[in-house]
Structure 1
Amino acid sequence: MSRLQRCFKSLASAGFFRNQDGKGITLELLSHGREYARLLQHHWLRLRPLAAHLGETSETSSPASHLQRFSFPQSQQFRANFQKLLKDHPRKAKCPTLLKHLSTTSSSLNSNPIFGIKSPSLLLITDFLVEPHRSLEHFYNMQRESKIWWMRLSSNPSRYRIVPCDLWEDLNPKNYQAIDIRSSYGEAGEVTVEQLSLVRIEDDKDLRLPDARTGESVQPTVIRSVIELETATCALLLDGCDHGRNEQSLLLHRILAPYQCGIACVESDSELSEDLSDLCLHLKHVLNHAGLRLCQGDGFATTKDASQLAEHLLNSDMLGVPYTLVLNEKTLKNGLMQLRSRDTRLAETIHISDVPDYLLNIFKN
């Protein structure tokens, strides 16, 4: 069994996705995977926060074709978004400006040799309307910013690279540019996680904006970023599983981990089990109130001995839970507990009064 096949098996058993059919690998996100995708989408919404958010649309044609990648400024949807910018966000209707919208499509953005995605797909689309004379400068800056964003989400930042795309012979490089940001998985191949395309609009009176500095009306050049959410989700999940360590774990970015913290108590004394359960419920309430995402179910696990605790922590690691609070009978006496890290598998001692501020500082930084 290859390294990636083991990753697919581990992620499927942990409830992130499943293979939809027996023909190749066609993935369908399950509960944990859908939650991860939701958090990734929310993280994308926070990227470039000055953008005008235009809501969700439905694509009538495939965005996968080479022609569609460069002809989108002529589409009805792009023009409708432009008019929505003028009407709903007049203060942002200047050049340069950013537009964001979501789009559902019945076909995948592109194919890759590692896996396919069950349709429909959700596309995260950013349109950057820039001054024509600075378009290449903006394009290169956006490439760099996007690559850094993916690297920060990854357990292996060296996995990502920028790949220039060949243009058709009839496309002038001064007016059209395209690159892919790809995630590499060695001999298994690469997955495109983001497409960036530059298109210069010419002689279109309906698509003009005032220059933010001079006020002069200009014909903007458009730089479009397209991320297929489901493909990016599965690529990042594979990245978190394919880390080359001996230990089984899912090294998800702690901001995007579906569950940020778990609670486990070791009940070796049955007489104190009720008190320990009450303490766990109190911690669950405190962490939930602080906005931290706890493991599903009761929010805490009860174990009888070190062996059961080790099994629970292994399951937590495969869910990508970054931290687990471990309590025992001594916690009832002195308020001390162990904060165990998924990444290092080491534990540090903290006091109950430091929860949740200590954890919040970790996630903030």
Structure 2
Amino acid sequence: MNSNKIKPLLEIKNVLEVCERHGFLQKLGQYLKIAPMGSLLLHNLKNEFYRNMVINKDYTVFPNESNSFKKSFLYAKETCSSQFPFGIVEKILDKTSNDGFLGYFDNNEVIKCNVFVAPQLATAFYHQLQRQRRMWWRIFSASPGRYILSDIQNNDVFQSVEIKAEYPWGLELIEKINLFKNLHPELNKDLFQGSITPCYITSEISLQSMLINTLCDAYDATLHQNTSRIMFRFHRKLAPYKISFSISKSQKNASTEDLLQLAIFISKQLRENNISCLLLPKAGKDSLEEQWMFYDCLGIPYNVILTDETLKNGIVQLRSRDTTLKEQIHVGELPKYVEQLFKNY
């Protein structure tokens, strides 16, 4: 990594140590790699990005998985009857960037969304996209105020603005949005004979930068009952696992086994509703506080607590990661209730 990053490294050290300890990142040589929990988090981030930039747009956006941008453009142009706007999303490998968060990785996968717009509408479209993208970052943030837009860089060929996240060690580049007034470099003028030559707007996000930003954004270390309570406050849509299970220690081995079987039954019901659950064999072997500390460090929003009383009356407790408050819910009502919790943003 660059020698001029020594001070930021010292400030971010605690975050990275927790990320390595809990399986989000792993260090190989001088660089970081994405570990199992980080892979799950990144999967959810990509899903939300594609939902926002591809699926839920008022205009049509096509993924480009081939090596020919031109062929994908021609398909999009024909399918949309040459009516703008329409977009093409591609993934590219960029090994040239090593600033900020990207300095921690040896490769840089970039998702680039290209939107082709009629020239007379391009400027208004460009400013609207800036607002939408900043709002997207804020929706999933534990500290929405940290996201700001840079000043616009402007010349005869393009305009460029950056979305940045503010941290104690400085500003980190998260997304770059450009408006190009010339022809896309993969295309030629022959494609537009007798029709409008569009401008194009790009949104560029590094997957590695998106991941480490989400980890830094969600990291929280607060004083709780005279001890430092470390957690990741992931948005519930992004959390690698949505629900975890804790079993209160019981002096009756039979009760513990029955509660474990009940937890397995509940987790199957939740998974059928597409709610990802983490049920570990060690549930019930550690104290509840120890279990909660572990699950909070994984950023799991809710924890289902089963006790001996659960076997008598069917009542479980649902603990919130963010508030630590618990509410009582009957086992039969739990799947529907949890589904509603994760339905909305």
- Closer/same/farther in 2, CA of residues 11 and 108 from structure 1, 3 Å limit: farther
Aligned to 2:5: none
CA offset digits 1:162-203 (Å, max 9, x no partner): 113545xxx41xx410011111112x1222111101001369
Aligned to 1:81: 72
Does the 8 Å CA contact 1:82/1:207 hold for their aligned counterparts?
Answer: no
In structure 2, C-alpha distance between the alignment counterparts of 1:338 and 1:21, rounded to whole Å: 44
Aligned to 1:52: 61
Does the 8 Å CA contact 2:158/2:179 hold for their aligned counterparts?
Answer: yes
Aligned to 1:227: 205
In structure 2, C-alpha distance between the alignment counterparts of 1:117 and 1:83, rounded to whole Å: 38
Aligned to 1:36: 41
Structure 2 counterpart of 1:7, which letter? V
Range that drifts further, 49-58 or 272-281: 49-58
Matched, 1:346 2:329: no
SS of equivalent to 1:247: strand
In structure 1, C-alpha distance between the alignment counterparts of 2:199 and 2:341, rounded to whole Å: 41
Does the 8 Å CA contact 1:259/1:293 hold for their aligned counterparts?
Answer: yes
CA offset digits 1:219-264 (Å, max 9, x no partner): 1110000111111111111110157665211001110100110011
Structure 1 counterpart of 2:48, which letter? H
User: How far off its partner does 1:3 sit?
Assistant: 5.0
User: How far off its partner does 1:2 sit?
Assistant: 5.3
Range that drifts further, 273-282 or 345-354: 273-282
Matched, 1:255 2:229: no
TM-score (norm 1): 0.82
Percent identity for Structure 1 against Structure 2? 25
Q: Which runs of 5+ in 1 are unaligned?
A: 59-76, 210-215
User: How far off its partner does 1:334 sit?
Assistant: 0.5
Aligned to 2:265: 282
Structure 1 counterpart of 2:13, which letter? Q
In structure 1, C-alpha distance between the alignment counterparts of 2:66 and 2:152, rounded to whole Å: 27
Trace 1:290-309 onto structure 2 (pairs within 5 A): 290-295=273-278, 298-299=279-280, 301-304=282-285, 308-309=287-288
In structure 2, C-alpha distance between the alignment counterparts of 1:53 and 1:152, rounded to whole Å: 24
Does the 8 Å CA contact 2:148/2:165 hold for their aligned counterparts?
Answer: yes
Structure 2 counterpart of 1:189, which letter? G
- Closer/same/farther in 2, CA of residues 189 and 328 from structure 1, 3 Å limit: same
Q: Which runs of 5+ in 2 are unaligned?
A: 1-8
Does the 8 Å CA contact 1:160/1:182 hold for their aligned counterparts?
Answer: yes
Moved over 6 A (4+): none
Aligned residue pair count: 324
Aligned to 1:320: 299
In structure 2, C-alpha distance between the alignment counterparts of 1:243 and 1:141, rounded to whole Å: 36
Aligned to 2:180: 199
Matched, 1:94 2:83: yes
SS of equivalent to 2:255: helix
Does the 8 Å CA contact 2:220/2:230 hold for their aligned counterparts?
Answer: no
Structure 1 counterpart of 2:84, which letter? C
Matched, 1:355 2:334: yes
